[in-house]
Amino acid sequence: MSRMTRLTRTPRQTRGPGEAGATPMNGTTPAPGTAAGMTPAPGSTPVPVLARVAGSADRHGLDYVLPLRWDGDEGLEELTAYLRELSRQARVIVVDGSRDELFDRHAERWRGLVTHVRPDPGLRFANGKVNGVTTGLRLARAQHVVIADDDVRYEPAALAGMDALLAGADLVRPQNHFDPLPWHARWDTARTLLNRALGADYPGTFGVRRSFFWAMGGYDGDVLFENLELIRTVRARGGVEYHAPGLYVRRLPPDVSRFWSQRVRQAYDDLAQPARLAVFLSVLPAAAAGLARRRFGTLAVAAGLAVGLAEAGRRRAGGRRVFPWTASLFAPVWVLERATCAWLAVGAALGGGVPYAGRRLRRAAHSVRSLRRRPEPLGPGRGGFTW
């Protein structure tokens, strides 16, 4: 396993009884199965099981929560094959918000393979994924839980690595990479490489410690950038977060139409990161000024710096084995895309937010400071969340 960076640390008094205090050293990963199972944090109340979990209670020490909401079943065969392999490594809980005919078809195909349930109707978050994640965490039995989007594809070694890291962390952020890599996936990979060079990427999957998730009261689902909301909530509650840039997890690329539809919505996430947003808002005026003054050399140097920065991210933590060098060449293109969409995102914010699943979401994510001021756990007035 490649080098890991510890970002925040939980005070010992907030850890559950029996928790191993060992922390992986840089450049090492604890062997899977060496950490004892955890118990819920003091004062937390176990939630009644809402549905029977498929498989033996002692068969696996890792649970896998997959929130799902499909409008069509084009990928059903491939996903079913993945779930079949995955169920040999972990207990799988699919929380399915698809319409009735699709839900029934999924139930038939996955009977005996996974636990397949509807989102808890008592959860009313605007971001439906959070309803799915919360429902899945309520059903989970294992202390270590993987949350993953429906396009994420874990290999057994990555699952074992996630399980090992959760022995010393409350939240683990692995690194997604697209495979296969059509042109638009290489374009979007440039974003990943720049994020890696400047800090950390935002994957479509996390590992969480169930007892800590209970203790912090879940996270707010009335936001667009739910992954950042989860990260910041863990930090605000004093949790231990591991960024593992060398724990690579494959992700299927979206089709081209979905890729284009995500451009402004992804840029809207930057409203939760004001400094980052300010940088991108400045790019187009700076580029226009450079063109007006015919400073083509300066613009070429700026493009070269973007490529170099992306390449630095590609080379980090052994990334060359999963990220092609051609993705770095897309960095200037992606920067221009994000610079354009940042202005469109600001316009959307002024107009009341961005459309999401038939609603409009105005807030990208809360700041850590505001989350620290919030009483815990979240109450019924915030999307109907209770434990």
Residue 308 maps to a domain: yes
* 148/205 same-domain check: yes
Q: What is the pLDDT of residue 188?
A: 98
- Same domain? For 145 and 244 the reply is yes
Residue pair 159/142 in contact by the 8 Å Cβ criterion:
no
- 366, part of any domain: no
What is the pTM for the complete model shown?
0.83
At residue 378, the pLDDT reads 54
* One-character DSSP codes across 315-382: HGGGGGGTS-HHHHHTHHHHHHHHHHHHHHHHHHHHTT-EEETTEEE------HHHHHHS-SS--TTT
Phi and psi for 177 in degrees, rounded to 5? -145, 145
Are 215 and 66 members of one domain? yes
- Among 256, 285, 317, the domain-final residue is 256
- Has residue 142 been placed in a domain? yes
In a shared domain, residues 208 and 337 = no
pLDDT number for residue 357: 78
Supply the pLDDT for residue 277. 98
Below-50 pLDDT ranges, the chain: 1-59, 379-387
Q: Judge if 83 and 160 occupy the same domain.
A: yes
Q: Are residues 268 and 146 in the same domain?
A: no
Q: Helices (DSSP H) in 27-127: which residue ranges? A: 76-86, 100-110
Residue 298, domain member (yes or no): yes
Assess whether 134 and 239 both reside in one domain.
yes
Report the distance separating Cα 181 and Cα 11, nearest Å.
Answer: 42
Structural domain of 220: 49-256
| CATH code, domain carrying 114 | 3.90.550.10
Does one domain contain both 100 and 180? Answer: yes
pLDDT of residue 43: 29
Residues 200 and 103 in one domain: yes
Question: Could you check whether the bond before residue 180 is cis, i.e. omega within 30 degrees of 0?
Answer: yes
CA distance 5 to 65: 25
- Predicted confidence at residue 122, as pLDDT, reads 95
What's residue 376's pLDDT? Answer: 63
Which among 256, 280, 301 is the end of a domain? 256
Clarify whether residues 266 and 202 are in a common domain. no
Task: Say if 28 falls within a structural domain.
Answer: no
Q: Does residue 117 lie in a domain region?
A: yes
d(CA 41, CA 33): 21
Same domain, 207 and 84: yes
Number of domains in the chain: 2
Q: Residue 262 falls within a domain, yes or no?
A: yes
171 and 295 share one domain:
no
Examine residue 39 and state whether it is found in any structural domain, yes or no: no
pLDDT at 356: 85
- Residue after which a domain boundary falls, among 229, 256, 283: 256
